[in-house]
Amino acid sequence: MTDLYPVPADFAARANVTAADYERDYPESIRNPDAFWGRIAGRLEWMKAPTRIREASFDREDFHIRWFADGELNASVNCLDRHLATRGNKAALVFEPDDPSGEATHVSYRELHARVCRLANALRNLGIGKGDRVIVYLPMIVEAVVAMLACARIGAVHTVVFGGFSANSIAERIRDSGAKLVITADEGVRGGRRVPLKDNVDAALKLPGTNSVATVLVVRHTGGAIDMQQPRDRWYHAVVDGQPDTCEPERMNAEDPLFILYTSGSTGKPKGVLHTTGGYLLYAAYTHECVFDLKEDDVYWCTADVGWVTGHSYVVYGPLANGATSLVFEGIPTWPDASRPWQVVDRHQVTIFYTAPTAIRALMREGSGPVEKTSRKSLRLLGTVGEPINPEAWRWYHEVVGGGRCPVVDTWWQTETGGILVSPLPGAWPAKPGSATRPFFGVQPGIVDAEGKLLEGEAEGNLVLLDSWPGQMRTVYGDDKRFFDTYFAAYPGMYFTGDGARRDADGYYWITGRVDDVINVSGHRIGTAEVESALVLHPKVAEAAVVGFPHEVKGQGIHAFVTLVAGETETEELHRELVAHVRSHIGPLATPDILQWAPALPKTRSGKIMRRILRKIAEGAPDQLGDTSTLADPGVVEGLLAGRRNR
Ligand code: 6R9
């Protein structure tokens, strides 16, 4: 028996979407998507209203995905200009700095509009225009939002790179996107520690294949010492100051690209997920309004960094398209101590709080003391995203953080989906801890078995989507074939999510985690192949295999098995060197939690690495190795098990 958490009556009474609304509109959204989304599209401000709504087929012969294909609009106009008449003085952003004694600032819609226009004008003067790619490598500061919207204003395609990525990862993204300009800062600060952003960009631009970049704009943030290389590097303030604070927005077709965001897949090379303007913006805005039950006076805080899709859809585009107040937090939830998020909630009277299970678990580990010394009375809704949430953490979040008053929305979605696909609508139906519950309007999930047969009723298998929704990614940048092969080849006519799921008797979905070679570490996707490729680049490594294992706080940890080149010795020093090598190659977020020497790896007779067995070894479940009869050399497994015990 799972416990049910009913919708509090007062919440239901004011909810944006009630149970009756859902029961009426969901079936219509599936039966007649053109009528449904045609109506919802009216929430955006179009320069030319669309008459074509949904045009999509997942079939190989006729593959295409288009939404609102004859519509024209500009995303920054929808996020800014549209609100000036009614919300000009309302805070669009509240900025909370890393240092709790630092000054928090409010940026009104009018001021944000002016700042975006100034940068947009500056970018145009630097030769950036429609379709050009711009890398944004910034801390969580107001300029990050300004940079994204300034690109959108002139039709440039932003590619935000998380500040935790290394020079090599930046270079990889420049190479793939052909970016002309990089916007960065001297340094970032997180949890009191400085991040050398500009130095990383300098190092990236020394790597081969990056000379598409002609200009680097540098925000002076910490004032730390950096090298400025003339004429490439320009101070952000110097190019922006004196620019007019209005800027003619570019007319964009609904299907023109808005951004590229790189994410890990099951190969060594991250994919450039491409989202377009109309469908993405509408979907981000509409899900934000319904799932978070947004009201005019809410103060909304999503803790995600803009380097991830959650930051794109639910810090920037969704909230600003809805005219909401969105809090931008530079720091980390556990610094200086575990009461920081709740102090920020009290300081800014936050009403809606959205974070990742890994943060909840990290805070929970410190006990309820740091929470209980704060008020949190302003909170009315809590959300989670990024990975499955264990029921224990869900209950702690609900009871201790939310005082049992606030519904919790467990939102399932992906970089590829642009916005939330499966989630409670908080005023409509009861929650079950650990379940993302039911599909959003227009979303048709399905569960298939290993043969690709769609299962009815209660079922467990792989999670697919049977039809398109407006926020769906349109392609892998520069590689349509990879797009089709990755998502539509496994189950013909369906989008394969890469996740496993179970549907219970009430039709609630329970996401069980990735079923492909992607590890979810603290809600961040890391491809096992990416870490393996980094390891084998080291001259002393012959072979490497990487798997995930359950980790109390991070959800999953990274376990690397490493075979050295013959003649090399397994030393402590080399161990440290290899861990550092992965960090510097990909970024600190890919640091292996465990690096185990493997004199040999378990392989089939045809030479395939048996990851299933490595996963069990990493989990410490030697009794669950399963069928080992296809192993070429069973002795290898014995050796690895002994190695794990002795670690
Ligand atoms: C938005 C985001 C996507 C993967 C996804 C799944 C996992 C996200 C989840 C969840 C269980 C949830 N995931 N939300 N699993 N419950 N509520 O996280 O995008 O970084 O692309 O990751 O994250 O495995 O496939 P992204």
- Give me 544's structure tokens: 């490497």
Ligand 1 site, residue 525, Cβ cutoff 6 A: yes
Q: What is the pTM of this model?
A: 0.94
Distance CA 590, CA 602 (A): 23
What pLDDT is stored for residue 625 in this prediction? 84
348-376 mean pLDDT = 96
Closest residue CA from atom 18 of ligand 1: 386
Is 90 a domain residue? no
Tell me the C-alpha to C-alpha distance, in Å, between residue 359 and each of 90, 333, 378, 529. 30, 7, 20, 26
Query: Does residue 630 register a pLDDT over 90?
Result: no
How far is ligand 1, taken at its centre, from the CA of residue 520, in Å? 8
Tell me the C-alpha to C-alpha distance, in Å, between residue 314 and each of 3, 367, 413, 459. 29, 28, 12, 31
Pairing verdict, β 352-355 and 325-329: unpaired
What pLDDT is stored for residue 604 in this prediction? 80
CA of 414, closest atom in ligand 1: 19
Query: Does residue 510 register a pLDDT over 70?
Result: yes
> Are 461 and 323 within one domain?
yes
Query: What is the average pLDDT score of the chain?
Result: 95
> Are 232 and 175 within one domain?
yes
Closest residue CA from atom 17 of ligand 1: 412
Is 350 a domain residue? yes
> Are 297 and 417 within one domain?
yes
484-490 mean pLDDT = 97
> Are 274 and 421 within one domain?
yes
The enclosing domain of 153 has a CATH number of: 3.40.50.980
How far is ligand 1, taken at its centre, from the CA of residue 624, in Å? 27
What pLDDT is stored for residue 475 in this prediction? 98
> Are 170 and 56 within one domain?
no
Ligand 1 site, residue 411, Cβ cutoff 6 A: yes
Q: Which helix (H) or strand (E) holds 195?
A: strand 193-195
pLDDT tens for residues 393-423?
999 999 999 999 999 999 999 999 999 999 9
> Are 285 and 345 within one domain?
yes
ipTM of the complex: 1.00
Distance CA 218, CA 160 (A): 15
Query: Does residue 606 register a pLDDT over 90?
Result: no
- Give me 636's structure tokens: 């290898």
Is 6 a domain residue? no
Query: Does residue 607 register a pLDDT over 90?
Result: no
Ligand 1 site, residue 355, Cβ cutoff 6 A: no
> Are 435 and 560 within one domain?
no
Distance CA 417, CA 439 (A): 13
Is 577 a domain residue? yes
Query: Which residue from 453, 152, 383, 405 is spatially nearest to 275, judged by alpha carbons?
Result: 152
- Give me 475's structure tokens: 């392609």
Ligand 1 site, residue 415, Cβ cutoff 6 A: yes
Query: Does residue 623 register a pLDDT over 90?
Result: no
Query: Does residue 626 register a pLDDT over 90?
Result: no
One-letter amino acid of 434: G
Is 2 a domain residue? no
What pLDDT is stored for residue 618 in this prediction? 93
How far is ligand 1, taken at its centre, from the CA of residue 415, in Å? 8
> Are 584 and 502 within one domain?
no
Radius of gyration of the chain (CA): 24
Can you give the residue range of the structural domain that contains 141?
A: 104-247
Pocket test for ligand 1, best of 423, 496, 520 (most atoms within 8 A of CB): 520
Is 476 a domain residue? no
pLDDT tens for residues 147-173?
999 999 999 999 999 999 999 999 999
Angle in degrees, CA 79, 82, 87, rounded to 5: 90
- Give me 134's structure tokens: 């711009």
Name the DSSP letter for residue 316: I
Is 408 a domain residue? yes
> 90 Cβ partners below 8 Å, 6+ apart?
83, 108, 109, 323, 325
Ligand 1 site, residue 168, Cβ cutoff 6 A: no
Distance CA 367, CA 359 (A): 13
The enclosing domain of 605 has a CATH number of: 3.30.300.30
Distance CA 13, CA 7 (A): 10
Annotated binding site for Mg(2+): 536, 538, 541
- Give me 568's structure tokens: 């090399």
Tell me the C-alpha to C-alpha distance, in Å, between residue 375 and each of 150, 341, 348, 355, 639. 37, 12, 12, 19, 54
> Are 456 and 544 within one domain?
no
Backbone angles phi, psi at 292, to 5 degrees: -95, 5
What pLDDT is stored for residue 234 in this prediction? 98
pLDDT tens for residues 226-252?
999 999 999 999 999 999 999 999 999
Name the DSSP letter for residue 173: H
pLDDT tens for residues 89-124?
999 999 999 999 999 999 999 999 999 999 999 999
> Are 331 and 427 within one domain?
yes
> Are 495 and 577 within one domain?
no
Distance CA 586, CA 330 (A): 22
Closest residue CA from atom 16 of ligand 1: 388
Other CB atoms within a 10 A radius of the CB of residue 175 amount to 16
- pLDDT grade for 2, boundaries at 50, 70 and 90: low
Other CB atoms within a 10 A radius of the CB of residue 178 amount to 14
Tell me the C-alpha to C-alpha distance, in Å, between residue 382 and each of 156, 327, 511, 513. 34, 15, 19, 22
534-549 mean pLDDT = 94
> 483 Cβ partners below 8 Å, 6+ apart?
473, 475, 476
Is 580 a domain residue? yes
